[in-house]
Amino acid sequence: MSVVKANLEVLPGGLKVALLLAAAALVALPFAGNDFYTQMVARMMVMAIFAMSFDLLQGVTGLVSQGHAAFFGMGGYALAFLTASIDSVSLWWSLPLVAVSMAALAALIGGLVIRTTGIYFIMVTLAISQMIFHVFFDNKALGGSDGLYINIRPTSSLFGWVPFDLESRTTIYYLVLVVMLLVYVFLRRLLWSPFGRALAGIRVNEHRMKAIGFNTARYKLAAFTLGGGLAGIAGYLYGALNGMVSPELIGFHMSALVLMMVVLGGSGNFAGAIVGAFAFELMLFAFKSAPQVGSVSLDKYWQLWMGLSIVLLISFAPRGVLGMVESLVHRWRQRARRAAAPQAAAVPGLAERSNG
């Protein structure tokens, strides 16, 4: 099996059609009129943006960062600080500012950690993330363990003209949807650009990339910086959507969750990150809402069911949900061809026409 096929970078036609249908369903969802599900799916899309930013590191470049959540959480905190100093910040300058700030922070941290590899890279990023977590957790001026509230969402005002109201749940839903689709299209194009192929080469064999003249440290630093900026955008949208941020968004627990999302959906193609984020959140909702059977409340053991489900899924589908679907489609096509072969042989000239 080739590396490209193992990572499912090339999406089969059937999966592309399914993803387009899913995108159409997301567009139509708010018209169902259920605010609860609209809010829940909007949160899933935010986590999908976060998962795509992590997939750029883990799935494409091969960097398993356990500190990636720091940029996600601090993106939300940045919006909270801006909102605290100004009654209502403009979406048009605050979102780019947060993205650039988190990218700059990622470049600073990346300059220190990118020199390490393997388990050392994981441990260093984890240590930095925990340091940032305790800065926010132990400092009352930064909200402490309770976090910060964002009472006013950003405004879309342009020189006095307000094209849309972000206080509306439907409007902010579509904002998150548009950002998610833009991030996906951008990263898919990046994946097949010379820069993206160089990152994939680093994942496969960094020593060979160095031998043919690539400065792999610069490429990894660029990926780390871009991933941090995209995670900051996700954190900003999370804060605007939920109205509060807390230190839990920065800790290693959140980094572990986004890693599970990427592995669950299928790494290295960004569509898998989206599918993994949706699947993870749906499983979480289902297990937390599990019914009571006799005297046993199944929802109390939701962490056990979640862990078992992920272990079983990864055991039987190591390439994630998308990889499993691709394998099923491939097997179905092979069976269809084998079933059609005897018929083609029985009818004179049919085999030649089907081969042609």
The answer to whether the CB of 49 falls within 8 A of the CB of 186 is no
Band the pLDDT of 4: cuts 50, 70, 90: very low
- Show me where the domains of the chain are located: 3-290
From the candidate CATH numbers 2.40.50, 1.10.3470, 1.10.10, 1.20.58, the one assigned to the domain spanning 3-290: 1.10.3470
DSSP string, 256-321: HHHHHHHHHH-TTSSHHHHHHHHHHHHHHHHHHTPPEETTEEGGGGHHHHHHHHHHHHHHH-TTHH
Backbone dihedral angles phi then psi of residue 158, each to the nearest 5 degrees = -125, 100
Rounded Cα gap, residues 56 and 61, in angstroms: 6
Q: Which of 76, 46, 81 is nearest to 89 (CA)?
A: 81
The residue length of the chain stands at 356
Locate 207 and state its tokens: 């020593």
The pTM of this model reads 0.90
pLDDT tens string 77-119? 999 999 876 778 899 999 999 999 999 999 999 999 998 988 9
Query: Which conformational region is residue 11 in: left (phi greater than 0), alpha (psi within -120 to 50 degrees), or beta?
Result: beta
How high is the pLDDT of residue 349? Answer: 58
Write the pLDDT tens digit of every residue in 237-285. 999 999 999 999 998 889 999 999 999 998 888 999 999 999 999 999 9
High-pLDDT (> 70) share of the chain, %: 93
The strand pairing partners of 90, in sequence order, are 155
